[in-house]
Chains A and B, each alone.
Chain A
Amino acid sequence: MAEYKQILNNYKALPGGLLEAYHAVQGEYNYLPGEAVREAAAVFGVSASQAFGTATFYSYLKIGKRGRYIIRICESAPCHIAGAAEIITVLEKELGIKMGETTADGKFTLEFTECVGQCQATPVITINSVPYTDIKPAQVPEMLAQCR
């Protein structure tokens, strides 16, 4: 795993590179380590509050550990009327956690998301940013089993 210090430095010279650097760190860690955000403040010459302010503004960035598989369920209107709530019920039951939580083994995290732009086939979930469309509750256990 690449060190976050190294990753941050790769973006130091890029104008407006803070957000790109966060993407790169999260691509490696699946989350933003709190120390990485403090380090980013130093690398990009901004205050710690600005570095944290940016990191916490965006819903895709998360400070602090989360699972290897991040499952996001769209709760926008087209998915809502297509039965997103039933998918949430099955996911919570199968994984034994509530939305926003991570399983004890650190494998899965459940998060809400707004529209992911795949509304031709609702409801939609994403697993590590890959969209899965037209999800039926009965498919969920098999989808989870595919995550290894």
Chain B
Amino acid sequence: MAEEQRIVLRNADQINPAKLEDYLQAGGYQGLEKARSMSRADLIAEVKKSNLRGRGGAAFNCGLKWSFVPTDAEVSYVVCNLDEGEPGTYKDRIIVQKDPQQLLEGMAICGHAVNAKQGYIYCRGEYPYVVELLNLAIDQARSKGVLGDFNIEVRMGAGAYVCGEETALIESIEGHRGEPRFKPPFPGVSGLWGKPTVVNNVETFANLPQIVFNGADWYAAIGASTYPGTKVLTLTGDVEKRVFIEVPTNVTLREIIYNYGGGVKSGRRLKAVQVGGTSGGFIPEYLLDTPIDYDSMRSIGATLGTGAVFVMDETRDVVDIVTHIAKFFKEESCGKCNPCREGTFRCYEIMDRINRGRGTLPDIEHMIQLGKVMERVCLCGLGQASPSPILTTLQHFRYEYERKLIS
């Protein structure tokens, strides 16, 4: 078994997550203490320099995102995105269940950097037990006074994939339908209740205590140079070990599946792997030697996304799986913008027709054209990314489609 490198999971199964004392004994809250000894500008510069990039999928430089909050803003908010809805992904749940205080510390560090006194954790409705643990952790942190004057509140989502998009998430916290907003303005300028707001993923926040404590240079030297650090991955599907792991970002997909995951189940051969969740591209066997970092994945037309690694063996019907995925996007499209509302509907309609053996060659050509339009013109990431499984499987596994067409 290959070695992991644990930063955000360093306390996993080493401490009792329900006990603040355990976290303190493991060195907890020293990152926040150091952050508070720094000026806001220095802290943001340090985080920027570490090149920590957003772990929710968009990979935007974290410190740069923080720097958009105006320094003279009287009220600003820190929001944690725990709306982990990307199928095949459960890393944020693990990070919080194993070590909730680390997340709170990371948020408080951000609070110091952008002068926010209030933080919100938006937790998906599917995780009521995580909400309970977080509320316990917040109570303990508050009574011990470790968060100082920074306050954190948990809000619960209610089963809407689109709320993982940061402006839809903000709408949902405000108690509305979770529909994305037009950008600009970006949340850093006008977010929650119209105030400057930083929205970061759980894993992004969870990295901060160690980055601040050990310094930007320490972090920047780990893993791939343009997307440094580690990534928590969840291995699912036809893989021998369906586990979560934390590895440096320069590890290749092949190492992940065969060394960490123990290979394809039952000794079968690999057909495809989908990385980054259900909106990720399908990757064929010959590209497995690609490192998992964001930019390397982009270079092969795939994405690192949330770090879900969905393995499919040689017996799997790619068209059937993609039809299922197309149905998912049809269901989860919020309906605000026309290209996504109509596009996901039509993609599913065509995929279903092909999957039932009633598709034609023009169906495939229309779907490629539609997918390319959606990638460019949909309002948010949901619609823009939704054609990716279709387009990448048509690129790498076109024969699977063609054999299902009406002859």
Contact = CB atoms under 8 A, between A and B. Distances in A.
Interface residues of A, number: 36
Interface in A77-109: 77-78, 80-82
Given A81-B312, A117-B93, A129-B128, A76 B178 contact: no
Nearest to B177: A57
B324 A119 contact: no
A33 interface: no
Interface of B: 84-90, 93, 124-128, 155-161, 172-179, 193, 234, 236-238, 242-244, 274, 278, 308, 310, 312, 316, 321, 324-325, 327-328, 331-332, 334
A119 B155 contact: no
Contacts of A61: 158-159
Contact of B87 (A50, A82, A115, A121): A115
A81 B321 contact: yes
Interface in A2-44: 15-20, 22-23, 44
27 contacts: A15-B174, A16-B155, A16-B173, A16-B175, A16-B176, A19-B172, A23-B125, A57-B178, A57-B179, A58-B157, A58-B158, A59-B159, A76-B87, A77-B87, A77-B328, A78-B88, A80-B321, A80-B324, A81-B237, A81-B312, A81-B321, A114-B87, A114-B328, A117-B127, A120-B236, A120-B242, A122-B236
Identify the 7 closest CB pairs spanning chains A and B, nearest first: A58-B158, A76-B87, A18-B175, A60-B159, A59-B159, A115-B87, A16-B175
B324 to A, nearest CB: 5
A120 B243 contact: yes
Given A53-B177, A81-B312, A58 B160 contact: yes
Contacts of B316: 81
Given A16-B176, A77-B274, 4 more contacts: A19-B155, A53-B177, A60-B126, A115-B278
Nearest to B170: A16
Contacts of A58: 125, 157-160, 178
Contacts of A82: 237
A44 B89 CA distance: 35
A120 B245 CA distance: 12
Contacts of A17: 175
A117 B158 contact: no
A107 to B, nearest CB: 21
A57 B333 CA distance: 11
A82 B312 CA distance: 11
